Amino acid sequence: MPRREETVPHGGGYAVPILALTLGHVFSNAVRTIPALAADVLQRDLGLTAEGLGLLTGVFPLVFALGMVPVGVGLDRFGVRRTSLCVLLVAICGAVLAALAPGVPAMLVAQALLGFGCSGMLMCPMTYAVRAVPPARFVIWSGVILTLGNSGLLLSASPLAWLVEWQGWRAGFWASAGLAVLVFLAVTLTVRQPPPKRGAPASLWEDARAVLTMAASRPLRPMMVIAFASFAVMFGVRGLWGGPWLMEVKGLSRIEAGNILLGFAVAMTVAPLTCSWIGRALGRPALLLAGSHYAAAFIVLAVIGGGPGGVLSAAAGLPMLPVTWDTVLFILLGFIISFQALTFDMVRRVVPPEATGRALSAQNISFFGGAAVLQVVSGLAAAWGGPAAALACFAVALLLCTSGFLLLRRRAC
């Protein structure tokens, strides 16, 4: 029996499907940041050291990065709807297993399932938008997707801190699983978009190799390099080490730390659309991207400098700078790092529409591959020098990768 052709959205009919798909990104942001406010109880209940916590949480971005290959192939070969529903099913299984995990092995498997399941949560709405939204409006819609998706960070700040205090960290994963089920239903009911028309048939292996080839291609290299550190900062600071810094170093309670991280999350929720608008208005995406990432590196260093025995604390003649200092800097960091939204439009401009799924997935390999590597490195650094050393890893990575981005852009010109 021939396959029933799906309906392509026309006019403004793309808005509801994009928003439904973006709810998956809300889930992804919520579930992957649970360790930030539950790090201490996770370590206690699972018997983890600081290195072990870094390795455990590093599984998510590592599998996420590896999942970009089949996700990119699926988006271009089978379409957004089928790919989205498949990864959502995997994510639901991962969240349930995490909530039930009796020990480290089960949690490792859960993090791997969550990493693979979440690997398509941003690429699905982005790819749908590339194929359905007029090109002139894509940069704005990419900001909408990131803005709505980052609202998941709001769920994992103060609300999560309250839930962990009340019911424990497992409740956070149960709540995330429930959210994923709702997203699955929303996508099932609203998303109708056929796979893109293809030329000569290719094998799955050839499609997978095309994703990796794109990742190493000359046009994408600059974005791949800066992406390696860009998301790692958000994932590492907001998703793990921000909580220990505020609680262990600054002496805050879990709820107080959650309130500060909520400010970080609010900034990251509001900023992508604003940054996309600024990028469209000024027309200098590369300059904005590099400048913002250099600024983000110095903001992280300023947070460290305001800690006990820090350079800025000593200059002020204080044991450490007040928590207000951290609050302002975390909010500023959340806004500044959101200029990473410009990379999606930069990638879109250098590939044909039928290759968009693979190209965006190739970039996401670097986003999450960098997060995986730096998560492990930061865990080792934390075992040696505490949360300050872990945060310093991300600042150094930002400085190096941003410089590499500018160098590769110059060579490409």
Please report the pLDDT score of residue 260 as a whole number. Answer: 85
Please report the pLDDT score of residue 302 as a whole number. Answer: 96
Which of 263-293 are b and which e, b meaning 16 or more Cβ less than 10 Å from the residue's Cβ? Answer: bbbbbbbbbbbbbbebbbeeeebbebbbebb
Please report the pLDDT score of residue 391 as a whole number. Answer: 93
Distance CA 108, CA 72 (A): 24
Please report the pLDDT score of residue 201 as a whole number. Answer: 54
Closest CA to 242 of 258, 227, 228, 231: 258
CA dihedral of residues 340, 344, 350, 354 (deg, nearest 10): 160
State CA 157 to chain mean position distance: 15
Instruction: Give the count of alpha carbons within 13 A of 348, CB side only.
Output: 22
Angle formed at CA 144 by CA 262 and CA 77, multiple of 5 degrees? 115
What is 15-191+207-412's CATH superfamily? MFS general substrate transporter like domains (1.20.1250.20)
Distance CA 37, CA 239 (A): 8
Does pTM surpass 0.75? no
147-182 pLDDT, tens digit per residue, is: 888 777 777 666 777 877 788 788 889 988 999 999
CA dihedral of residues 168, 170, 175, 180 (deg, nearest 10): 160
Beta carbons of 106 and 170 less than 8 angstroms apart: no
Mean pLDDT, residues 390-405 taken together: 94
Distance CA 98, CA 113 (A): 9
Please report the pLDDT score of residue 320 as a whole number. Answer: 92
The structural domains of the chain, with segments of one domain joined by +, span 15-191+207-412
Higher pLDDT, 183 or 283: 183
Please report the pLDDT score of residue 132 as a whole number. Answer: 83
Confidence of residue 43 (pLDDT cuts 50, 70, 90): confident
Please report the pLDDT score of residue 361 as a whole number. Answer: 74
Query: Average pLDDT of the chain?
Result: 82
- Give the count of beta carbons closer than 10 Å to the beta carbon of residue 383: 16
- Give the H/E segment covering residue 159: helix 158-167
State CA 368 to chain mean position distance: 7
Please report the pLDDT score of residue 177 as a whole number. Answer: 93
265-298 pLDDT, tens digit per residue, is: 788 878 877 777 787 777 788 889 999 999 999 9
